Amino acid sequence: MTNTTVAQTLSLQRRNEQRRTWILLALFCVLVASFVMDIATGPSMLGVEEVVNVLLRLVGVPVGVQPTSEVIVISLRLPIALMALIVGGVLGVGGAEMQTLLNNPMASPYTLGMAAAAGFGAALMLYAGSFGLSAQLAVPVGAFVCCMLSAGLLFGLAMMRHITSGQLILAGIALLFLFQSLLSLVQFVSSPELSQQILFWLFGSLTKATWTNVGITASVTLVCMTLLMRDAWKLTALRLGESRAKSLGVNVARLRLRILVIVALMTATVTSFVGIIGFIGIVAPNIARMLVGEDQRYFLPLSFLVGAFLLSSASVLSKSIVPGALFPIGIVTAIIGVPFFFWMIIGKRSH
C-alpha cells in the first residue's frame, strides 16, 4: 500500500520535473525567435528566411544566400544580437543570485550599486583621460575596476560576523547613492560635450558590441554559469535561511563570498562593455520564480533565458519604434518591461 503510494508520488515528481524542463525548452524557442527577429530588424530590413539561411550557412549547412545580407548579418547584426542574449542572461542570473543570497526579491547588482560604480568608473576615464590605454579599452577597464571595487566593499561587509542580509542590502543601497553622487560630480565638472559623452555611455547600448567583446563576455559567462550550477543545491538550501542552511552542512560564509565574486565578475564584465541596463536584474528572476519555483536547477537557467529574452526583444523594439532611429536599449527595457511585470504580479494574485 505504502509502496505504491511512494511510487505514485515519485512519478508525480518526475512529471513535475518534466513540466519545468518543458518550460525551459519553450522559453529557449521563444528566445531563438526573438534572436532571429533581432538580426532581421535594422535600417535595411532582412527577411526572416534570409537570416535563418545565413545562420544555417554559418554552422555549415550549404544554403544559398545573398553576399550583402551575409555581410550585414555576420559583421554588423550578429555580434549585437548575441551580446543582447549574453548581457540579458547575465543580468537575469546576477539578479537571481543576489536575491537568493540576500533573501530579498528586491536585490540585484543594480540596486546594490555595482552598476552605478561601473558608470562612475567609465565617466572618470572619459573625464580624466585614459592613463595611456586606448580610449576604447580604458572606459571598459575603468568601469570594470570600479564595479569590482564596490563589490569588494560589499564582500568586506559580508565577511563580518553578525551582519544580516538586511544590513547588506542597506549598505548596497548606500553605495548606489554614493557612486551616483560621485558620477554627478564628474558630470558637473566636465565640459558639456564630455558630459554628453558620459550620458550616452550611461544609457546602455549594445552597439558597442564587437566580436572581441562578445568573445570575452561569452567566455566569462560560460565559466561563471558552470560554477554557479555546481552550487545549485547549496543555493537552494541557502534560501531556507542562514541557520537552516548551516544545519544542512552549508558553509554559509564561504558560499556567500564565492557567489558574490562570481556575480560581481559577470556583472562588471557585461556592464563595462554595454553600459548600464537596469530593471532586467530585478524582473527576470521574479518571472522565472513564478514559472518554476526556486529549485535552482531550473530557476538559475530560466533566469538566464528570461533575462536574455527580455533584452533581445527590447533590442528589437529599440530599433523598430521609430524606423531608422535607434533608441538606447537601457531606456527601452524599463518602459516596456514595467507594464508587463505589473501584469504578471496582478495576474498571479487572482489565482
Partner 1 sequence: MLEIRDLSLAFDDLLLADRLSFQLQAGKTHVIIGPNGTGKSSLLKVLFGDIRPQSGEVLFDGERLDYRQTGHWRQRFGYMPQDIRLDIGLTVLEVVLLGQLDALSLKLRDPLIESALRALDRIGLLHLAHRDVRTLSGGQCQMILFAQALMRNPRILMLDEPVSALDLHFQQVLLDHLDQQTHRQNWVSVMVLHDLNLAAQYADNLLVLKGGRLIAQGAPAAILSPELVHEVYGVSAEVAYDQQGVPFVRTPRRSRSGQSVAVPETQARSALAG
Nearest to 100, CA basis, from 231, 280, 251, 225: 231
Residues that contact partner 1, how many (by CB under 8 A): 31
Beta carbons of 276 and 119 less than 8 angstroms apart: yes
| Residue among 257 and 326 whose Cβ is closer to partner 1 | 257
Residue 13 touching partner 1 (CB under 8 A)? yes
| Residue among 50 and 97 whose Cβ is closer to partner 1 | 97
Cell 520564480, residue located: 289
Stretch that binds partner 1, among 52-60, 144-152, 274-282, 294-302 (CB under 8 A): 294-302
DSSP letter at 158? H
Among 9, 66, 181, 219, binds partner 1 (CB under 8 A): 9
How far is residue 330's CA from residue 314's CA, in Å, rounded to a whole number? Answer: 9
Residue 21 touching partner 1 (CB under 8 A)? no
| Residue among 6 and 163 whose Cβ is closer to partner 1 | 6
Residue 70 touching partner 1 (CB under 8 A)? no
Residue 10 touching partner 1 (CB under 8 A)? yes
Radius of gyration of the chain (CA): 21
Looking at residues 272 to 291 of the shown chain, list those that interact with partner 1 (rule: CB under 8 A): 289
Among 57, 293, 317, 336, binds partner 1 (CB under 8 A): 293
Looking at residues 297 to 326 of the shown chain, list those that interact with partner 1 (rule: CB under 8 A): 297
How far is residue 230's CA from residue 180's CA, in Å, rounded to a whole number? Answer: 35
How far is residue 348's CA from residue 196's CA, in Å, rounded to a whole number? Answer: 42
How many CA atoms within 13 Å lie on the side-chain side of 328? 15
Cell 561587509, residue located: 157
> What are residue 215's phi and psi, to 5 degrees?
-60, -45
| Residue among 17 and 49 whose Cβ is closer to partner 1 | 17
Nearest to 125, CA basis, from 275, 262, 267: 275
Looking at residues 212 to 251 of the shown chain, list those that interact with partner 1 (rule: CB under 8 A): 229, 232-234, 236-237, 239-241, 243-244, 246-251
| Residue among 152 and 293 whose Cβ is closer to partner 1 | 293
How far is residue 265's CA from residue 155's CA, in Å, rounded to a whole number? Answer: 13
Question: Which residues make up the interface to partner 1 (CB under 8 A)?
Answer: 2, 5-6, 9-10, 12-13, 16-17, 229, 232-234, 236-237, 239-241, 243-244, 246-251, 289, 293-295, 297
